[in-house]
Amino acid sequence: MKIVQFDRFGPAHDVSACVEVADPQGPASDEVIVDIAAFPINPADLLTIEGKYAIKPPLPATPGAEGVGTVRAVGSAVSDIVVGDRVIMLTRENWVQKRVAKASEVIKVAPDGDVLQQAMLKVNPATALLMLRNYIDLKPGDWVIQDAANSGVGNSVIRLAKSMGVKTVNVVRREELIAPLTAMGADVLVLDGDGLTERVAAATDNGNIRLGIDAVAGDTSLRVAECLGENAKLVNYGMLSGEPCKIMPDQVVFKGIDLTGFWLAKDLGSMSRSDAEKLYGELSSQVSDGSLSVSVEASYDIADIKDALAHAAREGRNGKILVRPN
Ligand SMILES: NC(=O)c1ccc[n+]([C@@H]2O[C@H](COP(=O)([O-])OP(=O)(O)OC[C@H]3O[C@@H](n4cnc5c(N)ncnc54)[C@H](OP(=O)(O)O)[C@@H]3O)[C@@H](O)[C@H]2O)c1
């Protein structure tokens, strides 16, 4: 079978390759074998291959935080998963044609959902939903503000907030994103830059924004923080600018704004199996009914992984890059 592998840390399209290895043996009694139908290339995968992520695997390594596929064999002790089930992968190393995993490391999803959307279910929609739920008790009519609003997480925040009745202020850095994100359900679109606070105040009629969701950091987090109301939370979950998170002392001291961080791996790590099933069951049904989706720019064959990785590393994309390994 074909897998993606890298044997040194560096630019993902340079150091990664599609290689041929023996098909997996098994499954052992508590395992399943999954034919991977699709996986996305996320910024965290690129950072992992560059050696800049929180998790630095021993080399050679196979990347891939997520993926979806069809179960083609189950171990003798596995009772709740059968051959033919469609599952998402909860653990890493998924950029392969055939994946062996413990049954406890996969979760069933709808057999008829859009496979590209299901491939992206584990990371970005879950991140968006948990950030919307876990910091501020948002009620219908409340405002949140986010940057990188056209990202996979950003798309999910827009759609999930909409279904909660929560209104979104969406900060982007390209004018051409305003029309598609408005069509997606974004309430307010603003270009990042000088005067952001005043433009947001005007667009929200001085709305009290109690949650800021930041993947960019640097000067963008400073501007987003300035848009927040008293005792708001600024939740950082990304390092897209490569700059430190910035916030002025008066925002922290006088306004009582809390800067905190979100990492899905940590939340999932402390979640019970039944809570994880509930979370992904909820997201999977929203994918199936079409209310949750993330823009896709292209999908590739696994043999073209270098092109796929170079594409995923480009700025200014109009959606995610995925690979269909089978
Ligand atoms: N903490 C967690 O648990 C967690 C979970 C999921 C994702 N994340 C992080 O969330 C971020 C978004 O991930 P994703 O998969 O949703 O992204 P994505 O769909 O691949 O989109 C990338 C986004 O990053 C923006 N961007 C790239 N470089 C930038 C820069 N220097 N300044 C401002 N914006 C920049 C792009 O804007 P343009 O289109 O204008 O280039 C685009 O909006 C990443 O940092 C990722 O690591 C974290």
Residue-by-residue pLDDT tens, the chain, 326 positions: 999 999 999 999 999 999 999 999 989 999 999 999 999 999 999 999 999 999 899 999 999 999 999 999 999 999 999 999 999 999 999 999 999 999 999 999 999 999 999 999 999 999 999 999 999 999 999 999 999 999 999 999 999 999 999 999 999 999 999 999 999 999 999 999 999 999 999 999 999 999 999 999 999 999 999 999 999 999 999 999 999 999 999 999 999 999 999 999 999 999 999 999 999 999 999 999 999 999 999 999 999 999 999 999 999 999 999 999 99
Query: Does the Cβ of 216 fall within 6 Å of ligand 1?
Result: yes
Nearest of 116, 127, 125, 94 to residue 238 by alpha carbon: 127
Instruction: Let me know if 177 is exposed, middle or buried by CB neighbors in 10 A (0-12, 13-18, 19+).
Output: buried
Q: What does the DSSP 8-state code read for residue 188? A: E
Give me the pLDDT at residue 56, please: 95
The pick from 151, 213, 223, 246 for probing ligand 1's pocket by mutation, whose C-beta has the most ligand atoms within 8 angstroms, reads 151
CATH of domain 124-264: 3.40.50.720
DSSP readout, 285-298?
HHHHTTS----EEE
Q: Which atom of ligand 1 is nearest to the CA of 192?
A: 33
CB atoms within 10 A of CB 37: 18
In angstroms, the CA 67 to CA 48 distance is: 16
Cβ-Cβ contacts under 8 Å for 263 (sequence gap 6 or more): 54, 237
pLDDT digits (tens, 9 = 90+) for 271-306: 999 999 999 999 999 999 999 999 999 999 999 999
Q: At 272, which amino acid appears?
A: S
pTM: 0.98
Angle ∠(1,302,61) on CA atoms, nearest 5: 70
How many residues does this entry show for the chain? Answer: 326
For residue 86, report the distance from its CA to the centre of ligand 1, in Å: 28
Query: Does the Cβ of 174 fall within 6 Å of ligand 1?
Result: yes
Domains in the chain: boundaries: 2-120+294-324, 124-264
Please give the structure tokens belonging to residue 168: 């979104």
Point out which residues pair with 100 in neighbouring strands: 33
For residue 66, report the distance from its CA to the centre of ligand 1, in Å: 16
The CA distances from residue 64 to 120, 148, 151, in Å, are: 11, 22, 18
Instruction: Let me know if 239 is exposed, middle or buried by CB neighbors in 10 A (0-12, 13-18, 19+).
Output: middle
Active site residues: 53
Query: Does the Cβ of 313 fall within 6 Å of ligand 1?
Result: no
From 3.30.2270.10, 3.30.930.10, 3.90.180.10, 3.30.465.10, which CATH number describes the 2-120+294-324 domain? 3.90.180.10
Q: Identify whether the C-beta of residue 157 lies closer than 8 Å to the C-beta of residue 146.
A: yes
